Amino acid sequence: MAAGTAVGTWVLVLSLWGAVVGAQNITARIGEPLVLKCKGAPKKPPQRLKWKLNTGRTEAWKVLSPQGGGPWDSVARVLPNGSLFLPAVGIQDEGIFRCQAMNRNGKETKSNYRSLRTFTIKASDWIFPPSEIPGKPEIVDSASELMAGVPNKVGTCVSEGSYPAGTLSWHLDGKPLVPNEKGVSVKEQTRRHPETGLFTLQSELMVTPARGGDSRPTFSCSFSPGLPRHRALH
């Protein structure tokens, strides 16, 4: 029996839309800095503005002001020009960002973009670059041989660092295996890292080979992203 996987790689890209200004589309790569501009905000202090965040890092709306300070500065902080700076965009920044600017009298400023600006960060696409990074499936604890007529553990397929979670699928000699059919059973487990928000998937395959069947079957495992329109990683 042989158990194998082919190399596949991915990079998750987050997309940013300015809901108030219309068709603007900005992409931000995970781990890189991002600046969100607050239209209508005074370019120099003192400023009367606030940013409201509702993301995977918050339990409710989080309000940030130009005064700043504290542990949130390492996640997001308001720059002197009123823009919001994220030092390193992460999965947990998926959510909504709103900026509201006021004039010196405490009234909302007027501009062509309006003073209330809303951004939404969400997963938008999968890119498969040539370099190898985590995310490809790997079969561990694979069996050296199988016994006909009794349940056998083939192995455990593991994929680390995916987002969204995606799915793992098993194949026999290149053909998909369907759980709960012809002696095939699969036990799955999904874990999410509390800090990065990335998923680790595990899929344990059990089969009951028929007597007189192929003596050297080849099992493989593939990972399919949790978004439509994209090919699987084998």
Q: What is the DSSP string of 71-121?
A: GGGGT-EE-TTS-EEESS--GGG-EEEEEEEE-TTSSBP--TT-SEEEEEE
- Separation between Cα atoms, residue 73 and residue 58, nearest integer Å: 14
Predicted TM-score (pTM) of this structure: 0.57
Give the pairing of strands 84-86 and 34-36. Answer: antiparallel
Per-position pLDDT tens, the chain of length 234 = 544 433 333 343 444 443 333 334 556 677 788 888 887 676 666 667 888 888 878 888 898 888 777 888 888 999 888 889 999 887 778 778 888 876 655 555 543 333 345 555 555 443 433 333 446 799 999 888 888 889 999 999 999 888 778 889 999 999 999 988 788 999 999 998 887 778 899 999 999 988 887 778 899 999 887 653 344 454
The amino acid present at 73, given as its one-letter code, is D
pLDDT in tens, 149-178: 899 999 999 998 887 788 899 999 999 999
Closest by Cα among 135, 146, 199 to 172: 146
Domains of the chain: 12-127 (2.60.40.10), 134-224 (2.60.40.10)
